[in-house]
Amino acid sequence: MPKLLEIATEYAHLKCVEPKPVMIAMAKLIQICGDKDIQDYDRKDARTFVDQYGKVKTTTIRRRLNSINAVFNWAAYELDLEQRNPFARLIIREEGRDAYIVTNQLGPLGMWVSKIKM
C-alpha cells in the first residue's frame, strides 16, 4: 500500500490542483504522525493532528483538514479502501472563536465587521 506522501503527490498531479496547500497539510501531518501507509492512519492520528498542530487560528487547521480530507477521500476510491476517512467530520475545539477575538480587538470597526459576518 502506498505511503501518504506518494498518494498526496499523485492526487495533486492528477486533479490538477494547486499542490502547495496539499503539500503543506501533508508535511504537517507527516511531522506530527509520521509517513504511514494510507490505511494505517486512524481517528487517533486525526485527533493528534488537531491537538498538536501548534499556535495557529482554528481556520488554518480547518483548511489543512480540508486538504487532508480531499486526499483521503480520493485515495479511498482509487485504492478501494474499506475504512472510513479518519479525518472526516473532526470537531476543532472553539473553531472560529479565535477569529472573533482578533476581530473584536480592532475596536468599534471590528465589532461592526464581526456582526456582518454572523
> How confident is the model at residue 99, as a pLDDT?
66
The domains found in the chain, sorted by start residue, are 4-93 (1.10.150)
Q: 96-116, pLDDT tens digit by residue?
A: 777 655 445 555 555 545 455
pLDDT-derived band at 118 (thresholds 50, 70, 90) equals very low
- Give yes or no for a contact between 96 and 63, defined as CB atoms under 8 angstroms apart: no
Span 14-18, mean pLDDT?
90
- Could you give the percent of the chain with pLDDT greater than 90? 61
Cβ contact 71:11 at 8 Å:
yes
**What is the predicted pLDDT for the residue at 100?**
58
Tell me the C-alpha distance between 83 and 57, whole Å.
30
The CA-CA-CA angle for residues 66, 72, 73, to 5°, reads 85
Please compute the mean of the pLDDT values over residues 72-89 and round it to a whole number. 92
Structure confidence at residue 96 (pLDDT): 79
The pLDDT of residue 1: 81
